[in-house]
Structure 1
């Protein structure tokens, strides 16, 4: 594993029932950077995140976190054990509890806290600064939040305790452009704290704004790895890998 990489996948294959979804996935996530995982629908991006988290087990290959085997042939940790290493996952469906308040959702995610008073006040204020809507709607039922506010709550839940790696699956999906811009601004602030993020995204302007590195998937394989800025500047490569131009999504 590269000295600067906190996560590495080597030759990862994942089967779901009779379906062979991942076919030898290889890439690294450098520490303190935002790595974008891009690709057309059905390319295997969500399966990759779920395999990293142990929600689906790699049938072959290896998943390493900070040099330790957490999935695949050399080690198969459970999802709770993987979480305790400092990895948080924000799924596409956000995973919030609609009938509970924003406050109660945050408290449930803060596993070491029995009450809100036990939560690190400085960390909570930091999250309020990133996502002001969380403070504003603190006592509201989470199910009554807008789509963008729910997404912000999901990220806050993942970050309420210190995390070494954050996996986020399509945070901008279904959001209005103005809300996407707010989300980009918040994630930029998070990026400035050197939080390591692996981000699956279909919104290419968000990918360009946030990504340091990029891995592109197609049919369960990594078909391109490199600097996000290089992909953003190469329209022919965008067209070949993704079928779309980043320039058309400003």
Structure 2
């Protein structure tokens, strides 16, 4: 007999979340439950509200209605730095790195508990060797893909309980995307929970445990990633295309 999930099985819960940005009503009653230690994929067409959902969780935009709980504690009224201190890291689509600072300085600023753990840094270098090569270079001088590596490395330079990651494979070469997949697998194995917004369907098909599809600020589908990956008709209905068209 399969037992139903309890609230303690979920690291993050969104209940009836609405977000207004000026006169625009972006999120319109979003309900999500993110299981502990899983990679949860958020899909949808451009403008569906995916990035707004991540930013609202992180407190960068405030929910105008509803409730957001992290480990059964309300966080929707907290400031972004306080949310980060609770163990949540966010990798934005535009990366948000400090261009004038070196790669080392960017990562050092993210080590909020003190000095960088050298063993964890070597683990990160294993996935992104270019960061070691350009360790003392200004981050603004790096390529787009290398800047993306800095942004991801900064988010995982310390252990986090939850990662919010927006379009991580954007601008990365296939080889680095493969390394990124390995990094996410190891993070999952360490019981790090991940919410991933991504347009590379083959990437998410390999990694995702559960998936939700957004449209017009609402969740219109929620299920197992493998079930969606196998159902081309459902993909076309929800996303306007099938994953096989991206191979």
**Counterpart contact for 1:130–1:190, Cα < 8 Å:** no
Shift of 1:223: 0.4
Q: 1:171-210 residue pairs with structure 2 within 5 A? A: 171-210=168-207
Partner of 1:6: 11
Shift of 1:173: 2.4
What is the CA–CA distance in structure 1 between the aligned matches of 2:193 and 2:163, rounded to whole Å? 6
What is the CA–CA distance in structure 1 between the aligned matches of 2:184 and 2:20, rounded to whole Å? 32
**Counterpart contact for 1:37–1:217, Cα < 8 Å:** yes
How large is the Cα RMSD of the aligned pairs?
A: 1.5
What is the CA–CA distance in structure 2 between the aligned matches of 1:126 and 1:178, rounded to whole Å? 17
Shift of 1:210: 1.2
Shift of 1:194: 2.7
Partner of 1:103: 104
TM-superposition CA deviations, 1:23-81 (whole Å, max 9, x none): 1001111111100000000000010001000111111111010000111xxxx011111
The correspondence for 1:50, drawn from 49, 55, 64, is 55
**Counterpart contact for 2:127–2:180, Cα < 8 Å:** no
What is the CA–CA distance in structure 2 between the aligned matches of 1:186 and 1:65, rounded to whole Å? 23
Partner of 1:87: 88
Shift of 1:178: 4.4
Partner of 2:229: 232
1:164 aligns to 2:161 (yes or no): yes
**Counterpart contact for 1:43–1:219, Cα < 8 Å:** yes
Shift of 1:5: 0.7
TM-score of the pair, normalised by structure 2: 0.93
TM-score of the pair, normalised by structure 1: 0.92
**Counterpart contact for 1:37–1:201, Cα < 8 Å:** yes
**Counterpart contact for 1:110–1:160, Cα < 8 Å:** yes
**Counterpart contact for 1:25–1:222, Cα < 8 Å:** yes
Partner of 2:220: 223
**Alignment partner of 2:8: what SS?**
coil
Q: Which range is displaced more, 240-249 or 123-132?
A: 123-132
What is the CA–CA distance in structure 2 between the aligned matches of 1:57 and 1:235, rounded to whole Å? 36
What is the CA–CA distance in structure 2 between the aligned matches of 1:163 and 1:141, rounded to whole Å? 26
Shift of 1:185: 3.4
Q: Which range is displaced more, 33-42 or 190-199?
A: 190-199
What is the CA–CA distance in structure 1 between the aligned matches of 2:224 and 2:185, rounded to whole Å? 17
Unmatched 5+ stretches in structure 1: none
Partner of 1:16: 21
**Counterpart contact for 1:97–1:142, Cα < 8 Å:** yes
Partner of 2:35: 30
Shift of 1:219: 0.3
